[in-house]
Structures are given as structure tokens and as C-alpha cells.
Amino acid sequence: MGLGPLDTVSLADARNKARDCRILLDRGIDPIEVRREKRSQEALEKARAISFSECAKSYIKAHGAKWRNEKHAGQWESTIKTYAEPVIGSLAVQDIDTALVLKVLEPIWNEKNETATRLRSRVESVLDWATARGYRTGDNPARWRGHLSKLLPAIKKRLRVKNHPALPYSEIGSFIQSLRTQEGTAARALEFAILTAARTNEVTGSSREEFDLNKGIWTIPASRMKSGREHRVPLSPRALQIIKGQGNGDYIFPGQKEGKPLSNMAMLTLLKRMGRRDITVHGFRSSFRDWSAETTAYPREVCEMALAHVISNHAEAAYRRGDLFEKRRRMMRDWEKYCEQVSKAGKTVVPIKQGAA
């Protein structure tokens, strides 16, 4: 058994080491095995010294492929970098305990509860991954049930709900007229979003290959949908006209940078420029939903399908095979007609119940 190199181990040290080894042998313990075990333990401790930031990066890299889009991965990185890394980023993942997790969450728990809730879940996932890889042991200090749920104040779900300011549907006609006086891609994108009741990112990210102009159908792939399922949108005549007038680039609504789509903020900026800081782009989906519920006879499921809402009733969802497309086509044409109607007083004409399905 070697006791170390001559240039670093003195004769006295070598004698002491030899004596310790003989003592172990007298006890029936192999000193070589003891040394191997010690080195293995030191190597394990060194491996466990990996920082939380390194674990987070490895987790995102390992799981990013299964996430819906790059935006989701970006949100992961952003929340971790903004709120977690300043507190625990450089610390060894094995040293992160409940007190440190609370130090990350408590400053934003009440004011930014939605963000804090997602952050907690993400920290928990990273720590679970680290445990599975052998970088830490013990319970997860970021777990909610039976742990942080006892330490952090519960936020009522109703307080988390944030309604998007919406334009009353009775004013939609006059707004559309004003919108058509605006120039630029953002104005056309906003009108298209209103006529299709689509979400902002669904409109801005739309590519030419998603459209069948002959059939008047816009097919949004599952990868771009909030529900994670493909969604077909029937195009009204005016919506189809907007698409046909949007050049020949890859994106229907291109941004200022070549090869990039219109910014998600472009339409909101347009609203501010029009002096309409009181409403949001997403709010037009509410305008559409209110119109369909209060002025038409279309069934609820047709309206919900038009908004690409997921059916919350699992039993109903299991039996729903179609997407009520033809009924939705009639409804979107009625919606366009409604958006075109403006009285001399500048207010939208409210028609008698229409759209019997």
C-alpha cells in the first residue's frame, strides 16, 4: 500500500500512516478499502457541490424538447434568473433548504402570486431532478402540499383572476371603422384578431402554410395552441380579404426585423396610439363572447369552440369528436356582419337574435 510521494510525505508522516494502517489490520479492517471508500465519498461530495443554477440549466436542456414552444422555455429561464438565482443560484443544490426557498418566494408571494406560484413549482422540479441525479438527498423543500402550504399564506383563487379590459360589443362597429383608418401591419392584424376571436400570439405567429384560401380555413397547429391541440378557424369574407392582402412572406403579419413575425406588443401599442388605453387585445375575445351569448341563438358549445376553450367536463370532452366547424363558419360570418353595422349616431346596431344553429 502506497503512503504518498516522497516529495510530499515525510518519513515521520509515513511512519504515522503505517501505524494507523496496522491498527486497522489488527481490527480486521482492510486499510486499502477504507481509503477507496473515503475517496469515493469525497468524489460524491464534490459532485453534489453542483450549484442550483447549473441544475436549472441542465433541467431545462433535458426537458425543453417536450415543452410546447420556445416561449415556455424562455419563461422558465426568465423566472429562475430573475427571482431564484440572486438568492440560491450560486449555492450547492444539496444545501438548499426550506428557509432559502422561502427567501426566494416570500418577497413576491402576495404581490405577484401567479409568478411566485409558477416559480415555486419550477424550483421544486429542479430540486426533484437534482435528487434523482444524486446531487442531493432528503425531502424537497419547495414542495407545496403538507409543507409550504403550511408556511405561506393561501391566496384566494378569485384574487388571481385578472380580467382583460374589453370593449362593449355594442361599440365594436364604430371601433372597426376607426381601426380601418389606421395604416400598418398591426392594424390589419388587430382587425383579423377581432374577426377570428383568436389570441394575440396565434395571430402574430401565423404563417402562410397554415391557410387554405380556397376553402377559407386557417389551421393553427397544436404546437401554437394554448390547449396543445390543433384548431381550425373558419375565415369570414373580410378575414380572408385581409390575408390575401398581406404580401408573400412566410409570416402573414411580418415584424420590422426580416424573417420575424409581428411583435406581441404591436397591437397593444396601436390601441394606445388610438387613445384606447382602456381596452386590451385579448379583451376583444370577451367582446365576441358577450355578443354571441346576448344577441345570438348559437349554443354555448359552439361559442366556446370558436374561442378554442378546452371542455372542462371530461365526460363531455370524451364524446365530443367534431369541432362544430360549419356552425362556427356561420357564426363568424354573423360576427363580421355585426362588426360592419354602425348607426348614424356612431353606435353599433344591435340586431334581433340571429344564428339559430
> How many domains does the structure of the chain reveal?
3
Q: What does the pLDDT look like over 275-305, one tens digit per residue?
A: 999 999 999 999 999 999 999 999 988 999 9
Q: Are 182 and 318 found together in one domain?
A: yes
What's the pLDDT band for 156 if we cut at 50, 70, 90?
A: low
Q: Tell me, yes or no, whether 163 lies in a domain.
A: no
- Average pLDDT score over the chain: 85
The closest alpha carbon to 293, from 215, 159, 184, 197, belongs to 197
Domain at 59, CATH number: 1.10.150.130
Give the structural domain span for 28. 11-48
Q: Are 146 and 15 found together in one domain?
A: no
Q: Are 333 and 190 found together in one domain?
A: yes
Q: Are 15 and 40 found together in one domain?
A: yes
What's the pLDDT band for 103 if we cut at 50, 70, 90?
A: very high
* CA gap 109, 115 in Å, rounded: 8
Q: Tell me, yes or no, whether 150 lies in a domain.
A: yes
Could you tell me what percent of the chain has a pLDDT over 70? Answer: 85
Residue 233's SS3 state is strand
Q: Tell me, yes or no, whether 352 lies in a domain.
A: no
Q: Exposed/middle/buried for 233, CB within 10 Å: 0-12, 13-18, 19+? A: buried
* CA gap 258, 288 in Å, rounded: 33
Q: Tell me, yes or no, whether 126 lies in a domain.
A: yes
Residue 211's SS3 state is strand
Whether 6 has a pLDDT exceeding 90, the answer reads: no
Q: Tell me, yes or no, whether 74 lies in a domain.
A: yes
Q: Report long-range pairs for 129-138 (Cβ below 8 Å, ≥24 apart).
A: 129/55, 129/58, 129/59, 129/62, 130/50, 130/55, 130/93, 130/94, 134/44, 134/47, 134/48, 135/47, 135/48, 135/50, 135/55, 135/93, 135/94, 136/48, 136/93, 136/94, 136/96, 137/94
Q: What's the rounded mean pLDDT across residues 27-33?
A: 87
Model pLDDT, residue 264: 87
* CA gap 264, 245 in Å, rounded: 21
Model pLDDT, residue 315: 43
What are the cell numbers at 165?
379590459
Q: Are 175 and 317 found together in one domain?
A: yes
Whether 13 has a pLDDT exceeding 90, the answer reads: no
Q: What does the pLDDT look like over 312-356, one tens digit per residue?
A: 544 444 444 567 899 999 999 999 999 998 644 445 554 545 554
Examine the fold and report which residue of 103, 120, 154 is the final residue of a domain before the chain moves on: 154
Task: State how beta strands 211-212 and 231-234 pair.
Answer: unpaired
Q: Tell me, yes or no, whether 346 lies in a domain.
A: no
> What 8-state DSSP symbol labels residue 163?
P
The closest alpha carbon to 97, from 123, 132, 58, belongs to 123
Q: Tell me, yes or no, whether 212 lies in a domain.
A: yes
pLDDT top residue among 174 and 314: 174
Q: Are 216 and 287 found together in one domain?
A: yes
Q: Are 291 and 176 found together in one domain?
A: yes
What's the pLDDT band for 357 if we cut at 50, 70, 90?
A: very low
- Residues pairing with 219 in the sheet: 232
pTM, 2 dp: 0.58
DSSP-derived secondary structure for 6-21: TTTS-HHHHHHHHHHH
Whether 99 has a pLDDT exceeding 60, the answer reads: yes
Q: Tell me, yes or no, whether 250 lies in a domain.
A: yes
Q: Are 307 and 176 found together in one domain?
A: yes
Q: Are 83 and 44 spatial neighbours (Cβ–Cβ below 8 Å)?
A: no
Model pLDDT, residue 74: 79
Q: Phi and psi of 262, rounded to 5°?
A: -60, 140
Q: Which helix (H) or strand (E) holds 46?
A: helix 31-48
